A and B are shown apart, each in its own frame.
Chain A
Amino acid sequence: MSSGIGASVKRKEDKRFTTGKGKYTDDVRNDNQAYAAFVRSPHAHARVKGIDTSAAMAMDGVIDVLNGQQLTGDGIGNIICGWAITSKDGSPMNMGAWSALATEKVRYVGDAVAVVIAETQALARIAAEAVDVDYEELPVAASVLTSMKDGAPQIHENAPGNQIYDWELGDEAAADAGLASATHITSLDLTNNRLSPNPMEPRSAVAKYDDAEDHYTLYTTSQNPHVARLVLSAFYNVAPEHKLRVIAPDVGGGFGAKIYIYPEEITCLWASMKTNRSVKWTSDRSEAFITDAHGRDHVTSAKMGFDDAGKIVGFKVDTIANIGAYMSLFSSSVPTYLYAPLLSGQYNIQNIHCNVRTYYTNTVPVDAYRGAGRPEATYLVERMMETAAREMGMDPAELRRRNFIQEFPHQTPVLMQYDAGDFPKILEMAQETADVAGFPARRAEAEARGKLRGIGYSTFIEACGLAPSKAAGSLGAGVGLWESAEVRVNPVGSIEILTGSHSHGQGHETTFAQVVADRFGVPIENVQIVHGDTDKVQFGMGTYGSRSGPVGMSAVAKALDKVEAKVRKIAAHALEASEDDIVIEGGEVKVAGTDKSMAWHEVGLAAYIAHNLPEGMEPGLKESAFFDPVNFSFPSGAFICEVEVDPDTGTTEIVQFTSADDFGTIINPMIVEGQVHGGVTQGIGQALLEQVVYDEDGQLLNGSYMDYTMPRAADVPSFHVQHHETPSPNNPLGVKGCGEAGAIGSPPAVINAITDAIGTNDLAMPATPQAVWRAIQAGAKSVAAE
């Protein structure tokens, strides 16, 4: 069986995970290990008047108790947001100071004020309870609607009215004119519910300071260890970059929550130096709920105008986004450049305007969660399309079709130039598989059983592999968005790929090896993927935004080009042939049209023995490349969800979920489908089950798996997943990225199906049984009434 591009190769990395031999951060235990426990604020907003550590310090086994004054006194810098957004009046965003350990004020429940270092984890936690912090409680703004009001509690001194920025994209006059010309306008007020990412492995950090070498090693649950090292050294002054090794070993899921550099990693590194001990911290789930960055949390009002033919003539959006108590690493970009540029969806819309205001609140910081901005845009656009179709009495698929972009590249009025796609085709595929034609009969059959059956669409676009670096920089990004790869062909012909991408479930050890096997015809077993260690891989930007395929693999492909060029030269010289006649296939390097050939490993050996290389060629066979894409890639998809609602209980069952995705070139269909399954399930979680809830005092009300409703196996169906490939012209492999599509596209499909079933557009996420039952009671149709 082929192990090249397009083959469903079984994962190489599975054995260690299925046998319990995976090595996650919390599995690391250094000699002389000490443990950290954080003293966290129980108040959402308070002044810290004093910290009495004497009781904790007196406990046997407590090594030290450290606070924010000591941390800042040692020159540890504030945590920064890496993307500068400029308000429409030209003013810079108002970034409030965020110290890893709070000094004067705490701003959310869970804000750390001190850390206990002790001989055991249990002891550290007991001692943390004994630290007595004197708080002066302050008024709280726990929601964005509260914090934006006049007279709201001031959370950061440099952000008047708690506003961080007031930003816009698009031409407001054009959007207004478009709406004025419309014969039909659909208006929607939507909330995009706040979520907790919840990777199953809680965050963890094991820091070790070596005083003899003045060198630090940090094991951490990171999606991007090199970015962590850069930020920890360049901005937080924890250690110089060449004196800090960051290792992200096996990481148990990320979904965005493990992109950022949190107070705990900074503190563990610093505390390791202070105590000259290896310091370990592992979050428990309760701590994760109050420290891992949350996602979404938008409030939006929007209007979309249509002409007589059902063509969209104007789209105007006003969004208010909650940033939480501090600006996390990419928080500012999520409701701006990862959101508004996606508002054109799959549709040819000439006039779009979007205004976004963001505010601080006394809640956990909000940042990217699977999809990051794009789910919020998609939810708005796709609920808008479905609602408009209902209001105009049109088939929702037909309304979409009339507005589909048909030619590529396509320039939208909101920055994006779409690369490739075939939107009518994927919609048709999804409709066929979902048997849309048979829906009326299924609805009638359900009605006979007392159930309300509905169908809902979502035809969506996303933008993956954020790029190019230069453009991102011009929009305020503080980093480049390329990726690196190094290809080392060993003297025996085996190949090591060093990549700056990081796998935390995506299967890179298999798919990246497939790209190599495809190129040279070598067995996939002879290809090893190395990642996640700053001592091994020179630099890399990590994995988020579905970038490992379009950017990370492309860097590998580019490095393979260089290796291939050298292999051709070596073989042509050894076989006394022209380079142009060299063919590399099936693990052999041949001269076309002759029986002359070298085995792959013979070329590797020749490169290192260097007895017979072309004049002037350096020995060895190792090449590296940095790939900076010319543009994003634009995966698209058509999702169709079918639900049955029990009108007596409001319970929703997803009876069928169909996806037709265009991810461009697919390296491993099995893995890509797995990404869709997982993403769709997270989207179903957002639509039906999940929401982070704070009370008015800023207390998190559902911070455990007893309270926060994670999707479980019985909450979701098996999925019908299919693909159509229009390769992206923006990278050498034509891949578009598949990690986020499911989470981006599915929430509106689910809500559109439920609102179709119950006959009302007025339904918010999560559509819990109570919410659906109330919507039914509020005037939607019921089976009995018909």
Chain B
Amino acid sequence: MTSINMNVNGKAVSGDVPDETLLSEFLREHLRLTGTHIGCDTSQCGACVVHIDGKAVKSCSTLAVSLEGAEVTTIEGLANGDLHPMQVAFNDNHGLQCGFCTPGMIMSGVDMVKRYKAEGKDLTSDAIRAELEGNICRCTGYHNIVKSIEDAAAKM
């Protein structure tokens, strides 16, 4: 067991966890933040993507004990009162069906828009498709996810 302290969605949290505890498990089972989903066991599907210190990370591949003092944002903490433009865009553009991959898609989408804006690069639909390499959706065929991220990018 290791004692950990981190900041999740703006709140200080702490816990004693077995060293092998993954961040995804810490979020879901210890903090009961169940919006972060587990869709595979080989870090391929991206349903578990959260932001750690502002960067998109697969929480299923990150040990909770490695995050002492880190700032973690999950899908539950993305919006500040109103919905985030990315959340609005997914609704506006029908970017989700069953909703299971959606938290990861939104967290990855926010991250890619921020990175491209910071680097002054154009986030084209081809770039969005390439950036989504680590996020799998079985329902939408990606068409409307790409549209959603393009739409949000114009509004963020």
User: Which residues does A use to contact B, with CB under 8 Å?
Assistant: 10-11, 13-24, 26-27, 29, 122, 198-202, 250-253, 255, 284-286, 504-507, 670-671, 673-674, 677-682, 704-706, 710-714, 716, 718-719, 742
User: Are B96 and A14 neighbours in the complex by a CB distance under 8 Å?
Assistant: yes
Closest Cβ–Cβ distance, residue B123 to chain A (whole Å): 13
User: Are B136 and A712 neighbours in the complex by a CB distance under 8 Å?
Assistant: yes
A719 to B128, CA, bound (A): 16
Closest Cβ–Cβ distance, residue A457 to chain B (whole Å): 20
Closest Cβ–Cβ distance, residue B95 to chain A (whole Å): 9
Closest Cβ–Cβ distance, residue B34 to chain A (whole Å): 4
Give the secondary structure class of A's interface: loop
A334 to B136, CA, bound (A): 28
Q: Closest A-chain residue to B35, C-beta based?
A: A20
A251 to B98, CA, bound (A): 7
The contact of B138 among A255, A284, A670, by CB within 8 Å, is A255
B106 at the interface (CB under 8 A from A): yes
- CB pairs A–B below 8 angstroms (25 shown): A11-B96, A15-B83, A18-B91, A20-B74, A21-B35, A26-B38, A198-B138, A199-B100, A200-B100, A200-B136, A252-B98, A253-B139, A286-B41, A674-B94, A678-B97, A678-B139, A679-B141, A681-B141, A705-B45, A705-B136, A712-B133, A713-B137, A714-B132, A718-B125, A718-B143
Decide: A18 near B130, CB < 8 A? Known: A681-B142, A705-B45, A710-B136. Answer: no
User: Are B143 and A201 neighbours in the complex by a CB distance under 8 Å?
Assistant: no
Decide: A670 near B94, CB < 8 A? Known: A17-B99, A20-B75, A285-B41. Answer: yes
Q: Which residues of B contact A21 (CB under 8 A)?
A: 35, 76
User: Are A10 and B141 neighbours in the complex by a CB distance under 8 Å?
Assistant: no
Q: Which residues of B contact A671 (CB under 8 A)?
A: 94
A13 to B94, CA, bound (A): 11
The contact of B45 among A23, A122, A200, A250, by CB within 8 Å, is A200
Q: Closest B-chain residue to A683, C-beta based?
A: B141
User: Are A19 and B87 neighbours in the complex by a CB distance under 8 Å?
Assistant: yes
B64 at the interface (CB under 8 A from A): no
A200 to B101, CA, bound (A): 7
User: Are A704 and B41 neighbours in the complex by a CB distance under 8 Å?
Assistant: yes
Q: Which of B18, B20, B40, B101 has the most CB of A within 10 A?
A: B40
Q: Which residues of B contact A284 (CB under 8 A)?
A: 38, 40-41
Give the secondary structure class of B's interface: loop
Closest Cβ–Cβ distance, residue B39 to chain A (whole Å): 5
The contact of A713 among B38, B39, B142, by CB within 8 Å, is B142
User: Are A713 and B42 neighbours in the complex by a CB distance under 8 Å?
Assistant: no
User: Which residues does B use to contact A, with CB under 8 Å?
Assistant: 18, 20, 28, 32-42, 44-45, 47, 74-76, 78-79, 83, 87, 90-92, 94, 96-103, 106, 125-126, 128-130, 132-133, 135-146
User: Are A716 and B102 neighbours in the complex by a CB distance under 8 Å?
Assistant: no
The contact of B143 among A15, A23, A199, A677, by CB within 8 Å, is A677
Q: Which residues of A contact B94 (CB under 8 A)?
A: 10-11, 670-671, 673-674
User: Are B42 and A706 neighbours in the complex by a CB distance under 8 Å?
Assistant: yes
A710 to B47, CA, bound (A): 14
Closest Cβ–Cβ distance, residue A517 to chain B (whole Å): 18
> Which 5 residue pairs spanning A and B have beta carbons closest together?
A20-B35, A17-B99, A252-B100, A505-B98, A681-B141
The contact of A20 among B36, B40, B101, B141, by CB within 8 Å, is B36
Q: Which residues of B contact A507 (CB under 8 A)?
A: 97
Q: Which residues of A contact B128 (CB under 8 A)?
A: 713
A155 to B156, CA, bound (A): 60
Q: Which residues of A contact B20 (CB under 8 A)?
A: 122
User: Are B35 and A22 neighbours in the complex by a CB distance under 8 Å?
Assistant: yes
Q: Which residues of A contact B100 (CB under 8 A)?
A: 22, 24, 199-201, 252-253
A580 to B126, CA, bound (A): 59
User: Are B144 and A677 neighbours in the complex by a CB distance under 8 Å?
Assistant: yes
User: Are B136 and A18 neighbours in the complex by a CB distance under 8 Å?
Assistant: no
A26 to B48, CA, bound (A): 14
User: Are A250 and B97 neighbours in the complex by a CB distance under 8 Å?
Assistant: no
User: Are A253 and B98 neighbours in the complex by a CB distance under 8 Å?
Assistant: yes
A577 to B100, CA, bound (A): 52
New A-B pairs, 14, CB < 8 Å, besides A251-B98, A681-B141: A10-B94, A17-B102, A17-B103, A18-B87, A20-B75, A22-B99, A24-B34, A29-B32, A253-B100, A674-B139, A674-B141, A705-B40, A714-B133, A719-B141
